[in-house]
Structure 1
Amino acid sequence: MSENERPKVDALILDMDNTLYDWVAFFVPALYAMAEVVGKLLHVPTELVLRELREVHRTYGNTEHPFALLETRLVQSAFPRATRQEAHDALQPAFRAFNKERATRLRLYPEVASTLATVRAAGCRVFGHTEATVVNIEYRLQKLKIADFFDKVFASKWNGLSHPQGRDSKGSGQRVLVLPTVARKPDPEALRVLLNEIHAVPSRTLYVGDSLSRDVQMANQAGVLAAWAKYGSSNQKELWEKLVHVSHWAGESVAAVDSERSGHVPLKLKYRSITRFGQLLEEYVFTAHNGEPNATT
């Protein structure tokens, strides 16, 4: 495709999990490693630990809820008079197991860093848009060394208990900002609010995500360009089943995602499918933002 045929983009908005890195591939092994160690420490079956974690996930509507373990009935029964910090200290081997697996398995997809460097060198603005919490996203940005590629990253507010060691759980408020609460994916209003926030023109804005029904559909309805990160939906079957087992999702949600992962999406959507992140440079021309006001209203 010649450069004249490719859409011009001066604002790139990226979903984070399973678009820039394989979230399932690092989170599931880390969570299960932690559960196995807890089972040994408390002399209970690992499956019981997993069930209790799932209950906490459902309470918060979030499967990646930091220190969910401390809120399980199992742990609270084991340490009835302990503070959160004392329970955390007693379960340090379990948290170390989680951190070790996460540090080992969290890595960018191929071509992500080099592609983002090229996009930024062209003067195009780059934003993140995720429903992961600010604390989880800040960790990933620093660990993967990609924070400087982003102008801003919009993430979900942390709504859990305080860090057991007294650390700040609100995010820096500088590069990572809390998403406005007016709407959530796949409501197009969530994206329209973001477009206004960053002063982006929809026709020159590209949204990239791994979900057709949540990311691409939302982008279509908000009038922005859309690219489907097809590679992000190809998680290992065993890991996916393990994730579903501990997730907060209802049965209908799981069925919908399973259908999409199988390629069955009953929607007529407009998008370009990419099988590797670097393909964005072949499908679009990234240019500098010219400072025009947005045109979302």
Structure 2
Amino acid sequence: MKKLLITDVDNTLFDWQKLWYECFSAMSKTAIEISGIEANDFYSECSSIHQKYGTSEYAFVLNELPSFKRMYGDRVLEAMQSSIDSFRKARSKNLRLYPGVEEALDRLRDAGVTIAAFTESQAFYTNYRFRKLGLDQKVDYLYSPVDHDLPREVNSIRKYSPENYLLKNTEHRFIPYGEYKPNPHILLSIIEELEFNIEDTVYIGDNLLKDVFMAQQANVTDVYAAYGAAQHRAEEYDLLKKVTHWTPEMVEREQAALKPGAIKPTYTLSKNFSEILKIMGI
């Protein structure tokens, strides 16, 4: 079966928004309690750093907060260790694939379907989640933005050799830094690079604007992962908007796309990822 399935990752294969919210909330609550900083000041400084690095999950945000640098000098990580521990505990508890994803990916590959993942999340974070979620065994190709620069001290906090942090089965390829969905040209370049035809390709994602609209602009069969749409979870989404790297224009475009009828998917998965099997003829 010469077919290509390109899947979004965050909120399509796992609940990224819940994972981010639980981790960031746990870290923030502890950091604010330790430091006594005003919550709004904390969020504002986090937002500035996220804007700088182009990601809302910058792993070293505490170390670069101006207020914490003034308070603790070069001892920020030491002072914030319990906050970091809170983040890691929440991550361990909440990093899970959606039900049915693992089995569906296995059936797709058994049927000869080539599977590629296309995400906006940067390499450092996507790589970690692929390894921990077992996706390194399930996905043939991963396309993500190149990474932001890492602080010099990152090597000193890693416990294992560099080889332990590499994907072993999935081939990790990169899209240009600073490019965001919806970008039909990148989607088309992925299809061409993998030597497939547009008519043999299916694209699935949870975001009407970034995923469905992008696929439609590229004339690729689009599938809306409605089960993963998370913007309606107001508490999570509101906190994300407070500290996001998104520009106001990006937020406004996404809100417009959520208006009923603004973007109409060709196919919709209402319950879970495994519904893709019928669409793929499996």
TM-score interval (norm. to shorter): 0.7 to 0.9
- Find 2:124's aligned residue among 117, 123, 135: 135
Shift of 1:255: 2.8
Identity rate, percent: 26
Contact 2:122 2:144 in 1 (8 A): yes
Contact 1:9 1:206 in 2 (8 A): no
**How far apart are the structure 1 equivalents of 2:278 and 2:29?**
45
User: Number of paired residues?
Assistant: 272
Q: Which amino acid aligns with 1:60?
A: Y
**How far apart are the structure 2 equivalents of 1:111 and 1:141?**
16
Tell me the SS of whatever aligns to 2:13: coil
- RMSD of Structure 2 on Structure 1 (CA): 2.3
Contact 2:4 2:115 in 1 (8 A): yes
Tell me the SS of whatever aligns to 1:196: helix
Q: How does 1:117-132 map to 2 (within 5 A)?
A: 117-132=106-121
**How far apart are the structure 1 equivalents of 2:195 and 2:14?**
27
16-25 or 217-226: bigger deviation: 217-226
Shift of 1:163: 5.9
- Find 2:56's aligned residue among 60, 63, 80: 63
Unpaired runs of 5+ in structure 2?
none
- Find 1:260's aligned residue among 249, 257, 262: 257
Match of 2:174 in 1: 179
Contact 2:208 2:258 in 1 (8 A): no
Match of 1:273 in 2: 268
Match of 1:4 in 2: none
Match of 1:92 in 2: 81
Matched, 1:16 2:12: no
CA separation of 1:244 and 1:16: change in aligned 2, threshold 3 A = same
- Find 1:153's aligned residue among 130, 134, 142: 142
Match of 1:107 in 2: 96
Contact 1:134 1:178 in 2 (8 A): no
Match of 2:246 in 1: 249
TM-score, normalised to structure 1's length?
0.84
Deviations 1:253-275 (A, max 9, x none): 2233234345352x4x5521111
**How far apart are the structure 2 equivalents of 1:231 and 1:108?**
13
Runs of 4 or more above 4 Å deviation: none
190-199 or 231-240: bigger deviation: 231-240
Match of 1:51 in 2: 44
Contact 1:131 1:155 in 2 (8 A): yes
Q: Which amino acid aligns with 2:281?
A: V
**How far apart are the structure 2 equivalents of 1:203 and 1:26?**
34
**How far apart are the structure 1 equivalents of 2:49 and 2:94?**
24
Shift of 1:14: 0.7
Tell me the SS of whatever aligns to 1:79: helix
TM-score, normalised to structure 2's length?
0.88
Contact 1:33 1:98 in 2 (8 A): yes
Contact 2:3 2:200 in 1 (8 A): yes
Shift of 1:281: 1.3
Shift of 1:191: 0.8
Deviations 1:68-116 (A, max 9, x none): 2211111221233x2xxx5323321111111111111121112111111
Unpaired runs of 5+ in structure 1?
1-7, 287-297
145-154 or 183-192: bigger deviation: 183-192
**How far apart are the structure 2 equivalents of 1:96 and 1:260?**
37
Deviations 1:161-203 (A, max 9, x none): 336341469x737635242318542121111111122112110
**How far apart are the structure 1 equivalents of 2:230 and 2:204?**
16
Matched, 1:212 2:201: no
Matched, 1:79 2:72: yes
Q: Which amino acid aligns with 2:77?
A: H
155-164 or 215-224: bigger deviation: 155-164
Tell me the SS of whatever aligns to 2:137: helix
Tell me the SS of whatever aligns to 1:234: coil
Deviations 1:189-220 (A, max 9, x none): 11111112211211011110111211122212
40-49 or 184-193: bigger deviation: 40-49
- Find 1:240's aligned residue among 237, 240, 259: 237
Q: How does 1:19-38 map to 2 (within 5 A)?
A: 19-38=12-31
